[in-house]
């Protein structure tokens, strides 16, 4: 075991969005942080992310928003269209409303750009943060004085706190709670990005646009100042094995799943060079996220279906609250219990809302989307008010 008598040394397992945000938040409150990442390098993983104002406020408080802004895109509105005809169901203004109502903009960003902004933040400002790649953690051991991360290599690294931010296949969660079985939702998502210049008149509108149809839906939006189109297209399946962000499918299969749909959707699928296929699994909220000096964060404890676009944002909120609870005490277990008590009810509500939206988007029948049309077309203030609990929530 590597000796470490520093009472404020945090071990963060995972260098994804949640892990890097946690490292940065802890570092800014005086903690020495070691980030342990399984991958040999942090690459361009994933595609687009929608960041609602509650997450953008955290990035601002962490000091990385100014660095990130040049790579983002601010949608004019949120809208719904019929998947085959493209007919607009509703449009609700978002750009100025978000800042005025919730105190920060609504942004679209490429996952790799967000990761790079967070990584750059951990490397600057005189913070004591070390990133160790190629360091897969298989478990941990602890006693009243501290906690030790146990690596696959046999190396053991000691600290006073361990944060499991190691994603949906979390080794830390499995060590803490056992191997839980996820439930396949019946939904599989295609994810592609395409330069806008290759799409011509079929480029997606400058909005967060939901395209709905029977047993399938799609979401389009723009990234990187509007130069890159992002598409997530979800179709129902009876069965699936495996849960991965990086499984690849074929252009032919993607186009077959959305045959007859609007050219904005099909052109993006046709022009994309790589088609990632993501089977969506669901998990019930965990009873606890904490074991002594060990806490879970982000997808490791509350993996989100994408239908409220809150996965990354909930991880950012987690990171801020975790660091805040630890900022003024040396009683790590007590601070971690306070963190979990604050976060578990909110993330459980978001998980439930995401699940409900997934069912709502795939309703069948001619009049299936009339309630959403009424909400968006006739009562935009009601639409905004229904999001106040989510976008207006303040942790910084």
* Cα–Cα distance for residue pair 181/244, rounded to 1 Å: 15
Confidence band of 179 (pLDDT split at 50, 70, 90): confident
Asked if residue 239 has pLDDT above 90, the reply is no
**Chain segment 245-296, per-residue pLDDT in tens:** 567 899 999 999 999 999 999 999 999 999 999 888 888 899 999 999 999 9
Taking residues 66-80, what's their average pLDDT?
96
Sort 229 into a burial class: Cβ within 10 Å, 0-12 / 13-18 / 19+: buried
**Chain segment 92-126, per-residue pLDDT in tens:** 999 999 999 999 999 999 999 999 999 999 998 89
Asked if residue 391 has pLDDT above 80, the reply is yes
Taking residues 312-326, what's their average pLDDT?
98
> Rounded to the nearest 10 degrees, how much is the dihedral formed by the CA atoms of 235, 241, 242, 248?
-50
pTM: 0.94
**Chain segment 361-372, per-residue pLDDT in tens:** 776 545 455 555
Q: What phi-psi label fits residue 235: left (phi over 0), alpha (psi between -120 and 50 degrees) or beta? A: beta
- Out of 15-24, 182-191, 332-341, least confident range: 182-191
Measured N-to-C along each axis, helices 95-102 and 53-61 cross at an angle, to the nearest 10 degrees, of 70
Contact 268/223 with Cβ under 8 angstroms?
Answer: no
Please give the full DSSP string across 285-304, using - where no structure is assigned. PPS-SEETTEEE-GGGT---
For residue 78, what pLDDT is reported? 94
Fold of 9-180+283-391: FAD/NAD(P)-binding domain (3.50.50)
* Cα–Cα distance for residue pair 48/72, rounded to 1 Å: 10
Q: Which residues of 109-134 are buried (b: 16+ CB within 10 A; e: fewer)?
A: bbbbbbbbbbbebbeeeebebebeee
Q: Are strands 9-13 and 161-164 parallel, antiparallel or unpaired?
A: parallel
Name 88's bridge partners.
81
The set of catalytic residues is 221
* Cα–Cα distance for residue pair 213/200, rounded to 1 Å: 24
Q: Are strands 129-132 and 32-36 parallel, antiparallel or unpaired?
A: parallel
- Structure tokens belonging to residue 240: 């699936």
Q: Could you tell me which residue, 156 or 2, shows the higher pLDDT?
A: 156
* Cα–Cα distance for residue pair 137/14, rounded to 1 Å: 9
* Cα–Cα distance for residue pair 62/120, rounded to 1 Å: 12
> Rounded to the nearest 10 degrees, how much is the dihedral formed by the CA atoms of 150, 156, 160, 162?
-30
Determine what percent of the chain is predicted with pLDDT higher than 90.
77
Asked if residue 1 has pLDDT above 80, the reply is no
* Cα–Cα distance for residue pair 360/383, rounded to 1 Å: 15
Taking residues 199-224, what's their average pLDDT?
96
Query: How does the average pLDDT of the chain come out, rounded?
Result: 91
Domain borders along the chain are: 9-180+283-391
* Cα–Cα distance for residue pair 40/308, rounded to 1 Å: 32
Measured N-to-C along each axis, helices 311-326 and 332-361 cross at an angle, to the nearest 10 degrees, of 170
For residue 3, what pLDDT is reported? 47
Contact 187/213 with Cβ under 8 angstroms?
Answer: no
Asked if residue 238 has pLDDT above 90, the reply is no
For residue 373, what pLDDT is reported? 55
* Cα–Cα distance for residue pair 366/80, rounded to 1 Å: 15
DSSP annotation of 66: H
* Cα–Cα distance for residue pair 129/115, rounded to 1 Å: 15
Determine what percent of the chain is predicted with pLDDT higher than 70.
91
Contact 53/59 with Cβ under 8 angstroms?
Answer: no
Taking residues 200-223, what's their average pLDDT?
96
Name 279's bridge partners.
188
**Chain segment 133-151, per-residue pLDDT in tens:** 999 999 999 999 999 999 9
Confidence band of 7 (pLDDT split at 50, 70, 90): confident
For residue 367, what pLDDT is reported? 47
Measured N-to-C along each axis, helices 111-123 and 17-28 cross at an angle, to the nearest 10 degrees, of 30
């Amino acid at each position: 075991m590597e000796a470490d008598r520093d009472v404020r040394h945090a071990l963060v397992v995972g260098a994804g969005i949640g892990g890097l945000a946690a490292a940065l938040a802890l570092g800014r409150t005086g903690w020495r942080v070691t980030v342990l990442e399984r991958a040999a390098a942090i690459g361009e993983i994933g595609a687009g992310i929608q960041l609602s104002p509650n997450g953008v406020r955290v990035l601002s408080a962490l000091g990385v928003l100014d660095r990130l802004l040049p790579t983002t895109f601010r949608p004019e509105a949120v809208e719904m269209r019929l998947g085959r005809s493209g007919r607009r169901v509703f449009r609700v203004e978002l750009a100025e409303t978000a800042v005025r109502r919730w105190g920060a903009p609504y942004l679209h960003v490429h996952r790799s750009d967000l990761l790079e902004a967070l990584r750059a933040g951990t490397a600057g400002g005189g913070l004591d943060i070390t990133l160790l790649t190629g360091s897969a953690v298989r478990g941990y051991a602890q006693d009243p004085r501290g906690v030790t991360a146990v690596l696959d290599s046999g190396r053991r690294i000691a600290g006073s706190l361990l944060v499991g931010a190691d994603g949906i296949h979390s080794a830390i969660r499995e060590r803490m709670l056992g191997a839980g079985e996820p439930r396949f939702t019946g939904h599989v998502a295609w994810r592609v990005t395409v330069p806008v210049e290759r799409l011509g008149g079929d480029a997606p509108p400058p909005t967060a646009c939901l395209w709905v149809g029977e047993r399938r839906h799609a979401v389009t939006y723009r990234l990187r100042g509007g130069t890159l189109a992002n598409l997530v297209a979800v179709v129902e399946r009876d069965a699936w094995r495996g849960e991965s962000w990086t499984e690849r499918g074929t252009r032919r299969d993607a186009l077959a799943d959305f045959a007859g749909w609007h050219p904005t959707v099909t052109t993006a699928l046709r022009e994309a060079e790589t088609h990632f296929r993501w089977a969506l699994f669901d998990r019930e909220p965990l009873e606890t996220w904490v074991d002594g000096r060990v806490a879970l964060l982000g997808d490791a404890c509350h993996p989100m279906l994408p239908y409220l676009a809150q996965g990354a944002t909930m991880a950012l909120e987690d990171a801020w609250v975790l660091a805040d609870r630890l900022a003024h005490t040396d009683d790590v277990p007590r601070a971690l219990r306070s963190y979990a008590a604050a976060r578990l009810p909110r993330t459980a509500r978001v998980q439930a809302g995401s699940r409900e939206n997934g069912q709502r988007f795939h309703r069948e029948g001619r009049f299936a989307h009339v309630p959403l049309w009424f909400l968006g077309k006739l009562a935009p203030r009601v639409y905004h008010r229904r999001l106040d609990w989510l976008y207006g929530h303040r942790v910084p």
